[in-house]
Structure 1
Amino acid sequence: MTKGYFAVLAVVIYLSCRPLLSEAQEKKDPGIWVADRSNGTYKNPVLFADYSDPDVIRVGDDYYMTASSFNCVPGLPILHSKDLVNWQIINYALDDLYLPGVPPDFFNRPQHGKGVWAPCIRFHKGEYMIYWGDPDFGIYRVTTKNIRGKWDKPVLVLPGKGRIDPSPFFDDNGKVYLVHAWAGSRAGLNSIMTVCELNKEGTKVISNQSLIFDGNDGINHTVEGGKFYKKDSYYYLLAPAGGVVNGWEIALRSRSIYGPYEVKKVLAQGTTAINGPHQGGLVDTKTGEWWFLHFQDKGPYGRILHLQPVHWKDGWPVMGINDHDYCGEPVITYRKPDVGHRNSIEVPATSDEFNKPGLGLQWSWHANPQQSWGFPSSNGYIRLYGQYYPEGYTNFWDLPNLLLQKLPAPAFTATMKLTAVLQNEGDMAGLIMMGWDYSYIALRKTAAGYAVVQTICNDAEQQHTEKETGNSILKNFKPEVRYNYQTKLERATIFLKVAVEEGARCTFYYSLDGNRFEKVGTPFQAKQGKWIGAKTGMFTLNQQPGSPRSWMDVDWFRIGK
């Protein structure tokens, strides 16, 4: 045989073994994180984005994941994967936060850190279901037969304050159980897990609660909700302990669902730089492998997701590698899960050309959206209308009409092209990096014309006031003039950009032509919000209540390097 034959054969083998690049991957945003290394291995995190408290299931060849969404709307994101490494967001289980047992207008204003905590997703008898805890109102359940379609109205399963992190279990004998943890901030007690029995539908409690684990043992403090599993006649609870930043994962097992339970630490930071590897979901592949998907707290980026291999040792699920006394440490890179087939590289949506009649799945509001906030469109833009500042306004912490998305990578740029009709002096349209500290760049209508301003606010939750740190007057700026009958409308087109360095240090820019960008203001250090990472996105505001509404049409929002 010739050398040419072997060369061709090598190319064929390479092409057959590497992941298939989907159209989405070929057009993917250059600034987004890609975990698949295209050589049969992956790197952690598998998602460099804020998907806090993840849980995952397998249904046939498909993997589905959900995560905490707190006060953000829509809520309970649904992500899909074929291999646990490549993920796309495909739906939300909650269109809004009008929930049974909750005052109707409660989530019409930002309720930072409240709402949807630590969900658990399951598939049982042809039905998908998610249980979650609201620390102020109780434990809820929402279901559907079609995970990509409309979900049913949520049901309040167990009302009460402080009930969080639930996990249902459908036993072989037909009985149904629910375990959950407790939030000390509401219940005055924590670090314990209790279990109760549900009716066969999983919608109502039919027994008293029983204490099955007490983490006030001087070892596993700050224990939160465990996920129920059953394997080889053992009941398992996999639970986080030790706190968000520096915690670990423990495994509990018993022959009886009510215990007593043995306990072992099965995943910790070890010698790695991956702090607090815990709180997630255990899942198997059709080929018999086991994997654990969990978060790592990454400050301004939120809680990013890692994937660990799991091997069973003496009946214990040892996670990661280099285990010592059944406790492993996280992998940085590893071979991809053996799912029995090749898969295309996928990433969650980030950029948006706004060419569809529905809002892109990458976007969420800080509260239940109201009818006048804006409208997506097939006309090539999304229109957002200026909102009036709420009564008692101090800073943007109180604003519900912020349209935001998660940070997608350690370093990236976010650029938007907008055309604003600002009808009153002081009205603004802008791009924001939102969190406990926040900064925005905005086009502002002035008495003399237009200016681009940067504003920074530190400790927004503490009602600190904003400080203007940049102001560029747009001399010789000539918006397009149109008339709505006798009303003069100035259509001002501008490009706004934030460049994020590794570590989440941000610099803001603007451009009048989309090519030459001018820096505005001072660098800003992004900071996480309350239980969520920093987010970036857009807003438009009217300064005076009752004034004619301004608006902006956003042509596109693009993530880049």
Structure 2
Amino acid sequence: MTISRRDALTGALAGSAVALGPGSAVAAPLAGSATAPEWKRGFDNQRIADLGDGRFLNPLIAGDRPDPAILKDGADYYMTFSTFDSYPGLTIWHSRDLINWQPREAALRRNIGSVWAVSLEKHAGRYFLYIPVKAQPNSIFVIHADTIDGPWSDPIDLKLHDHIDPCHAVGEDGSRWLFLSGGDRIRLAEDGLSTAGPVEHVYDPWRYPDDWDVEGFSPEGPKIHRHGDWFYMLTAVGGTAGPPTGHMVIAARSRSIHGPWEQHPANPLVRTTSLDERWWSRGHASLVEAPDKSWWAVYHGYENGLWTLGRQTLLDPVQWTEDGWFRMMGGDLSQPLPKPRGGQALPHGMALSDDFSTLRLGAKWNFFRPAPDEASRARVEDGALLLQGRGTAPVDSSPLLLTAGDPSYMFECDIEIAPGGTAGLLLFYDDKLYCGLGFDEARFVTHQYGLERGRPANPHGRRMRMRVVNRHHIVSYHLSGDGGRSWSRFDRGMEVSGYHHNVRGGFLMLRPGLYAAGPGEARFRDFRFRAL
């Protein structure tokens, strides 16, 4: 990074943290802070990082995009994220400038468990994804493909039951390794599809002071990068959620992939130190080189007061120092930063509105914890999504969900049910914590706190248009029996700021979606989404 870029960063970082105000497109400042500019808006009015003036404003990708695994492949950049119980999973995102990203295809189609922090790599012309899963038992799988869009192979179980967060690395001698949580590693066979030795402990992570507020030591998310004469290992410690000051980035280096590892003298390199900061619990960092040869760190964090959005992807400029170390330059990431130069800017993100001319399972819609035959429930026909009912309520219906990255938004849809069926719209964290509104041909059903509650009469029969408004955690429902020409407000509302990991666990986010239960197919038409 050049001195001129550092000077530009110093000027951009004037001011301190801010938090978002309810329903506002502009970030509202906390006491004593500078006002951040308005985000630019993209598809469906969703906020995007690129400000269009040579700067960007985090988040890089809004909404629940945790544990980013990034790969530079020539002029292309690919990235994927933990997708947990959502399938198809591990959607590959593509960029050419490191700022604007588009989703492509999902790499993982078969449910093998809850997918945690993966490693995305390219070696000898082949792409690899090393995938830790929480299942019975826990393990780490590998899939591979000859092109980034697949087809990807069936998952191969490496039978590593006591570790998470693998990172593929190649040594100076050409040996292949998986570095694992806890400072461990295991050798891989030459083809990368099996292990070739025992797990060994190779690194004792740096330890923070005892009086810091953290969730736990939890050394995880190792990322190995070779730069110059050194191998660098970035690790997360302090716990992923819990206290906002817990999660942090530390680093070590070694001349050899075999160690010994020397701790960075400035650890931790990234840590939230005040509840007033915009970004909490920052960690799981990777290094990446931009098109202009500058260096950056990609990691995740929670937005101040918005745990419901999950861990969002952040981008932090990196400066290499004369002694062969590096430091993060983005401060608390509350202010715009200069973009890296070069590369083609693709349109960022995607529309969440859907006319159902096609069904984008994986890139847009995901089933929650699907059965092996779940995809057969959904098809499109004449501009409608036909979803076969399953179960009796959202708890056992495997709803279809989206990832929305704005603090306030609305979504609506025309819904028609089969005789005896039930369908509706949801805000869904998991099968034990959700809210929403559904209906059968005689009555509504209100979903609150993951339970089915009131059953008022339904005057509209088997077809109506429904709308959900989530305005900074205040939720309202609206109904139309004439296709959206006139609306009435449903006499139930919710406040959902507690629908998040620190209440329920699971590391998920509150997601908009739809469900169908009972006999027959529900027909969904003209799904519209708009950030507010």
Match of residue 305 from structure 1: 313
Contact kept in structure 2, 1:354 and 1:376, CA below 8 Å: no
The percentage of counterpart residues that share the same residue type is 24
SS where residue 377 of structure 1 aligns? strand
Mapped to 1, the partners of 2:309 and 2:268 lie a distance apart of: 27
Contact kept in structure 1, 2:78 and 2:94, CA below 8 Å: yes
**Aligned-pair CA distance for 1:357:** 5.5
State yes or no: 1:57 paired with 2:35.
Answer: no
**Aligned-pair CA distance for 1:373:** 5.7
CA-atom RMSD, angstroms? 2.3
Match of residue 315 from structure 1: 324
Match of residue 170 from structure 2: 170
Equivalent position amino acid for 2:444 in 1: V
State yes or no: 1:256 paired with 2:256.
Answer: yes
SS where residue 29 of structure 1 aligns? helix
Matches within 5 A, 1:266-345: 266-270=269-273, 272-297=277-302, 298-313=306-321, 314-321=323-330, 329-330=332-333, 332-338=335-341, 340-345=342-347
Matches within 5 A, 1:153-552: 153-157=154-158, 159-181=159-181, 192-215=182-205, 217=207, 219=209, 221-245=217-241, 246=244, 247-263=247-263, 264-270=267-273, 272-297=277-302, 298-313=306-321, 314-321=323-330, 329-330=332-333, 332-338=335-341, 340-356=342-358, 359=361, 361-369=363-371, 370=373, 374-389=377-392, 396-397=394-395, 399-421=396-418, 423-424=419-420, 427-435=421-429, 437-446=433-442, 451-457=443-449, 460=450, 465-468=451-454, 471-474=456-459, 477=460, 492-502=462-472, 504-513=473-482, 514-526=484-496, 527-528=499-500, 530-542=506-518, 549-552=519-522
Matches within 5 A, 1:99-138: 99=112, 115-135=114-134, 136-138=137-139
Mapped to 2, the partners of 1:454 and 1:296 lie a distance apart of: 32
Mapped to 1, the partners of 2:281 and 2:401 lie a distance apart of: 27
Q: Deviations over 1:237-274 (max 9, x none)?
A: 11111112331111111123232322232112246321
CA change 1:341–1:139 in 2 (3 A) is closer
Mapped to 2, the partners of 1:274 and 1:354 lie a distance apart of: 36
Mapped to 1, the partners of 2:171 and 2:205 lie a distance apart of: 25
Mapped to 2, the partners of 1:94 and 1:520 lie a distance apart of: 39
Contact kept in structure 2, 1:117 and 1:164, CA below 8 Å: yes
**Aligned-pair CA distance for 1:412:** 0.8
Equivalent position amino acid for 2:186 in 1: C
Contact kept in structure 1, 2:87 and 2:362, CA below 8 Å: no
SS where residue 388 of structure 1 aligns? coil
Match of residue 149 from structure 1: 150
CA change 1:337–1:400 in 2 (3 A) is farther
**Aligned-pair CA distance for 1:456:** 0.7
Match of residue 30 from structure 2: none
SS where residue 300 of structure 1 aligns? helix
Equivalent position amino acid for 1:213 in 2: Y
Q: Deviations over 1:417-448 (max 9, x none)?
A: 22222x12xx31100111253111112222xx
**Aligned-pair CA distance for 1:82:** 1.7
SS where residue 249 of structure 2 aligns? strand
Contact kept in structure 2, 1:238 and 1:249, CA below 8 Å: yes
Mapped to 2, the partners of 1:321 and 1:384 lie a distance apart of: 45
Mapped to 1, the partners of 2:300 and 2:169 lie a distance apart of: 23
Mapped to 1, the partners of 2:359 and 2:64 lie a distance apart of: 26
CA change 1:212–1:236 in 2 (3 A) is same
Equivalent position amino acid for 2:120 in 1: I
Q: Provide structure 1 residue ranges, at least 5 long, that are not aligned to the other structure.
A: 1-24, 100-113, 182-191, 323-328, 390-394, 480-491, 543-548
SS where residue 382 of structure 1 aligns? strand
Contact kept in structure 2, 1:117 and 1:133, CA below 8 Å: yes
**Aligned-pair CA distance for 1:41:** 0.8
CA change 1:428–1:134 in 2 (3 A) is same
CA change 1:279–1:500 in 2 (3 A) is same
Give the TM-score of the pair, scaled to structure 2.
Answer: 0.81
Mapped to 2, the partners of 1:319 and 1:378 lie a distance apart of: 50
Match of residue 43 from structure 2: 28
CA change 1:332–1:286 in 2 (3 A) is same
Q: Which moved more, 1:52-61 or 1:250-259?
A: 250-259
CA change 1:172–1:348 in 2 (3 A) is farther
**Aligned-pair CA distance for 1:27:** 7.8
CA change 1:179–1:62 in 2 (3 A) is same
Mapped to 2, the partners of 1:288 and 1:371 lie a distance apart of: 44
Contact kept in structure 2, 1:431 and 1:441, CA below 8 Å: yes
Equivalent position amino acid for 2:466 in 1: L
Contact kept in structure 1, 2:127 and 2:147, CA below 8 Å: yes
CA change 1:26–1:432 in 2 (3 A) is closer
Q: Deviations over 1:78-107 (max 9, x none)?
A: 11112222111101111112x5xxxxxxxx
Equivalent position amino acid for 1:511 in 2: S
CA change 1:453–1:134 in 2 (3 A) is closer
Mapped to 1, the partners of 2:148 and 2:375 lie a distance apart of: 29
SS where residue 258 of structure 1 aligns? coil
Equivalent position amino acid for 2:477 in 1: F
Q: Provide structure 2 residue ranges, at least 5 long, that are not aligned to the other structure.
A: 1-39, 210-215
SS where residue 37 of structure 1 aligns? coil
Contact kept in structure 1, 2:41 and 2:47, CA below 8 Å: no
Q: Which moved more, 1:521-530 or 1:405-414?
A: 521-530
Contact kept in structure 1, 2:248 and 2:271, CA below 8 Å: yes
Mapped to 1, the partners of 2:379 and 2:362 lie a distance apart of: 9
SS where residue 220 of structure 2 aligns? coil
SS where residue 456 of structure 2 aligns? strand
CA change 1:269–1:26 in 2 (3 A) is closer
Contact kept in structure 1, 2:172 and 2:257, CA below 8 Å: no
SS where residue 268 of structure 2 aligns? strand
